């Protein structure tokens, strides 16, 4: 079972193999690929830093405990109707995204994120709406 904080649900949709360091990318690619290949994997929703944050590089500012990041977690969980501590399969999280999310939500919820302007997270939401699942990382 993997532990995920709220906003990383959306980050996984837009993930294209970019990240903060090689170690961070390898770890995220592993999780992304696992979920893509087996959407029945169990996920536990956690408060604050998760298994992706563990590989956030030591250099530079550590943002994983910033208030605005916690607020983003809470906003995404609320949008999906989820609560911290819940355990569910990734495929069921994708179903909830289909019921409650549109691509432009990224512009509002992730307003302060530096990755937002790439447009890949909106594309990722669209892929889920079209039942395509997570994109293959090439």
Max Cα–Cα distance, the chain, nearest Å: 39
Per-residue contact string for residues 68-107; x = within reach of ligand SF4 by CB under 6 A: --------------------------------------x-
5 in contact with ligand SF4 (CB under 6 A): no
The verdict on 110 binding ligand SF4 (CB under 6 A) reads yes
Residue in 2, 115, 123, 135 binding ligand SF4, rule: CB under 6 A? 115
In the chain, which ranges are continuous DSSP H helix?
Answer: 6-14, 22-37, 67-80, 90-100, 105-109, 120-129
Termini Cα distance of the chain: 25
Give the span between the Cα atoms of 38 and 12, in whole angstroms. 14
* 2 is an interface residue for ligand SF4 by CB under 6 A: no
Residue 14 interacts with ligand SF4 (CB under 6 A)?
Answer: yes
Nearest of 3, 108, 24, 138 to residue 122 by alpha carbon: 108
**Rounded least distance, CB 66 to ligand SF4, Å:** 12
Residues near ligand SF4 (CB under 6 A) are: 7, 10-11, 14, 106, 110, 113, 115-116, 121
């Amino acid at each position: 079972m993997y532990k995920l904080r709220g906003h990383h649900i959306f980050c996984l949709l837009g993930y294209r193999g970019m990240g903060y360091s090689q170690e961070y990318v390898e770890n995220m690619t592993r999780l992304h690929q696992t979920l893509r290949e087996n959407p029945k994997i169990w996920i536990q929703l956690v408060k604050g830093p998760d298994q992706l944050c563990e590989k956030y590089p030591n250099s530079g500012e550590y943002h994983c405990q910033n208030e605005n990041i916690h607020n983003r977690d809470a906003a995404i969980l609320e949008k999906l109707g989820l609560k911290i501590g819940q355990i569910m399969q990734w495929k069921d999280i994708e179903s909830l995204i289909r019921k409650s999310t549109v691509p432009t939500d990224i512009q509002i919820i992730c307003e302060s994120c530096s990755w937002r302007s790439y447009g890949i997270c909106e594309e990722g939401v669209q892929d889920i709406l079209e039942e395509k699942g997570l994109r293959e990382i090439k």
